[in-house]
Amino acid sequence: MDTKLEIRSFNRHTDLDTVSDIEIDSYSSYLTVDEIRSLSIDRTTRIHVMETETGEIVSFIIFKPLKDKFYIERLATTPHMRRSGAARALLNHLKELAITTDKTLICGLVNEYNLGSQLFAKREGFDYKETQNKEGIEYYYFEWGSTK
């Protein structure tokens, strides 16, 4: 990867439109600008972004810190930066946070039809645990880490 990427916390005043655009490009059932804004205000949710040295946001992760784990709500990368390592870097960042904050697991759901994301999760060390149905859609539940 030639482009230098940096991770930082989301700023709802400057990042909202770009994160929303990436969300729309990445999900068929995407969050609206208002839903992302609400998540950014919610004290139980964290949003981190990946940006280039020129300040372009190319990826983001939305997650919830729970008692013993981080629950990934969303992970997305702008189409022209997919396969650049941006999403992997965000996951590695979350893994480091998990270790330093005594979280034993990172988990999340992947749509059953999203084979690319399922394979990505497997490559990143996540294990399939079960299938869950949410509003008539099947999701695969993945976990990284171990239970104590």
Task: Enumerate the domain spans of the chain.
Answer: 5-110
Taking the C-alpha atoms of residue 24 and residue 69, their distance in angstroms, rounded to an integer, is 27
* Alpha-carbon torsion angle 67, 140, 145, 5, nearest 10: -90
- Other CB atoms within a 10 A radius of the CB of residue 12 amount to 14
pLDDT tens digits for range 19-58? 999 999 999 889 999 999 999 999 999 999 999 999 999 9
| CATH number for domain 5-110, candidates 3.90.930.12, 3.90.1150.10, 3.40.50.2000, 3.40.630.30 | 3.40.630.30
**Banded model confidence at residue 148, pLDDT cuts 50, 70, 90:** very low
| End-to-end Cα, the chain, rounded Å | 36
**Banded model confidence at residue 2, pLDDT cuts 50, 70, 90:** low
pLDDT tens digits for range 70-121? 999 999 999 999 988 999 999 999 999 999 999 999 999 999 999 999 999 9
pLDDT at 4: 86
In this structure, which amino acid lies at residue 36? I
